[in-house]
Amino acid sequence: MEPLTDKFGRIRNERHVCGPRGCRALLLSAFLKATPFALIAALLLAADLGRAHAQELLLSPPSGGATEASPIAGPSVMPPVVTAPPFATPQAPTATKADDFAGMADAGLAELPADDFLPPSPPAPPKPAFDAGYDNGIFLKLRKGNDSFELKTNLRSQFRIVTFRRDVESWTDNAGVVRPVQNRQIFELERARLVLSGHAFTPKLRYFMQLDGDTDSRHVVALLDGWFAWRFSDAFEMQFGKRKVPGTRNWMLGAFDTRLADRPFANEFFRPSRTTGIWFVGDPSEKTHYELMIGQGYNTEGLTPSEMGDDFAVAGTSWWDAVGNYGPNRPCDFEIHDELAVRLGSSWVTSQEGTPGRQLEEADFLRLTDGTRLTDPNALAPGATVQSFDVSLLAVDVAFKYRGWSANAEYFWRSVTDLKANLPVPSVGLQHGFYVEGGFFVLPKQFELNSQFAAVYGKYGSTTSFATGFSYYPRKTQNLKLTIDATMIDGSPVNSTGSDILVGDSGVLIRTQFQALF
């Protein structure tokens, strides 16, 4: 074996001591000169084991080698080359790997990019073609090529025991008709609903359908909501079909999210209903939301085209989280906010109802503040029957949540103008009213106390109500809820079977309701 020489051809002194990096380069140079066939074998082995094995083979010091030159007299002797077996597990990098790589750089052997020493990333697992389960509803998901489909099914039910005890035996409307007020005690399945929702082909194409049946509407199951939508972005979506007219905040709240067993009577008096049309919906930011609608009318629920006029209604609603993150639309602080959250909002509707010269059911929803239906004969004047009118509604609302405490309020103004009748009639005047309600969780997410005050004012009379009650969540979730409340009212101007407050009611209403969502 040839003795090691320096760059001038001189034999190295046996007492020469070099630094770690230089000596490693020196040993590697001697190794390459002494064992060319071993190097070839190592390179072939590295090709079989891949880059990761090659990295460990080239960067790790030879087995049995020294990190510095030995001070033994005479020519330096290289240790024998030890090659790894073909399937040996490469050793983990040592703390001196940086120095080893630097020595290779000095020898001109480190030419591969750093990324070439990293193992390849494992491929992403393929998405399953089929998935099913429960996530706040029973869901089914399918994938076929680039298409995806999702169907979620929900069942919702409200069972009530209703007791009403009257203070009066009758009431007289503005036309002079005397109408009876009845005591009531009933079992009632108020809402039994099947909800289907999801998307088709792409998450941008969404759909929603809700079927509803109850025992106070002749036990008939009907299409309550049904629409499909194209979602351009979070800030803009177009919906086509049938759904709520966005007229008041409490109306836009789901019937299963109300603070008491149902909505306040003031909201029921002013709110619109459902119609068919086009909606524009979006969240421009995390703190804002809007909805705009062009629809068939203020209240066309259950009507056929022959029972409606040919003028459209326009409506809109929006809200803004002025302080904090208000969260879900439900008014109760079920989430138990650690920081104050305040939401401000407004809603509006304008529509022309009915057709001059024709008596249409489309216009039958609106009542005077004493409960008289506006389109009844003699409602405004003897012998006169209103056939059409313009109606505009404006509502503003505010709500807060904080550490289990919550409150929400809404004020309404409704004007009824441009009355068309077979005889001259006086004006309806401005109708206005409000509700305010609040509560707190005595036991977080389990037991809550609530109260409510509501009022309606107008040219033909005024009414107030006060309600109080509690809600109990046995599973500490929104899925199961027991509510018991009592309402005192002094002459209802609205006929609302959903809230069990009927026109003319004056007395005490007690509702016990158990609701389930799954």
In this predicted model, what pLDDT tens digit does every residue of 337-396 receive, in sequence order? 999 999 999 999 999 998 776 666 777 889 999 999 999 999 999 999 999 999 999 999
SS3 54: helix
Enter the DSSP assignment of 373: B
Enter the DSSP assignment of 363: G
Percent of the chain scored above 90 by pLDDT?
A: 68
Q: Which amino acid is at 233?
A: S
Q: What is the CATH number of the domain that holds 201?
A: 2.40.160.10
Choose the weakest-confidence range: 90-94, 115-119, 229-233, 413-417. Answer: 90-94
The answer to whether the beta carbons of residues 349 and 248 sit under 8 Å apart is no
Residues 235 and 113 in one domain: no
For the stretch 317-336, pLDDT in tens is: 999 999 999 999 999 999 99
Tokens of 514: 């158990």
Quick check: is 14 in a domain?
Answer: no
Residues 61 and 182 in one domain: no
Choose the weakest-confidence range: 42-46, 143-147, 201-205, 255-259. Answer: 42-46
Residues 180 and 267 in one domain: yes
Q: Which amino acid is at 315?
A: A
Q: At which of 82, 117, 152 does a domain end?
A: 117
Quick check: is 124 in a domain?
Answer: no
Residues 71 and 194 in one domain: no
pTM of the model: 0.75
Quick check: is 383 in a domain?
Answer: yes
Domain that holds residue 245: 130-517
Residues 349 and 407 in one domain: yes
Q: At which of 93, 117, 141 does a domain end?
A: 117
pLDDT band at 453 (very low <50, low <70, confident <90, very high): very high
Tokens of 364: 């039958």
Quick check: is 125 in a domain?
Answer: no
Strands (E), 75-181: 130-134, 138-144, 147-166, 170-172, 178-180
pLDDT band at 98 (very low <50, low <70, confident <90, very high): very low
**pLDDT value, residue 360:** 66
- Asked whether residue 78 carries a pLDDT value surpassing 90, the answer given is no
Q: How many CB atoms lie within 10 A of CB 454?
A: 24
H helices present in 97-229, as ranges: 97-106
What is the chain's Cα-based Rg?
Answer: 40
Residues 113 and 134 in one domain: no
The number of folded domains in the chain is 2
Instruction: Give CA–CA dist 356/42, Å, rounded.
Output: 99
Quick check: is 467 in a domain?
Answer: yes
Q: What are phi and psi of 21, to 5 degrees?
A: -70, -45
Distance from CA of residue 275 to its chain's centroid? 23
Quick check: is 1 in a domain?
Answer: no
Residues 105 and 178 in one domain: no
Residues 108 and 254 in one domain: no
**pLDDT value, residue 102:** 42
Q: At which of 55, 90, 117 does a domain end?
A: 117
Residue with the larger pLDDT of the pair 67 and 231: 231
Cα torsion 231, 234, 237, 241: sign: positive
Rounded alpha-carbon distances, angstroms, from residue 347 to 172, 292, 326, 414, 492: 33, 10, 18, 12, 24
Quick check: is 15 in a domain?
Answer: no
Residues 209 and 313 in one domain: yes
| Segment 137-143 mean pLDDT | 94
Q: Which amino acid is at 478?
A: Q
Instruction: Give CA–CA dist 494/511, Å, rounded.
Output: 18
Quick check: is 9 in a domain?
Answer: no
pLDDT band at 15 (very low <50, low <70, confident <90, very high): very low
Residues 366 and 475 in one domain: yes
**pLDDT value, residue 440:** 97
Residue 113: partners with Cβ closer than 8 Å, 6 or more residues away: none
Nearest residue to 158 (alpha-carbon basis) of 180, 188, 201: 188
Residues 146 and 263 in one domain: yes
Residues 100 and 168 in one domain: no
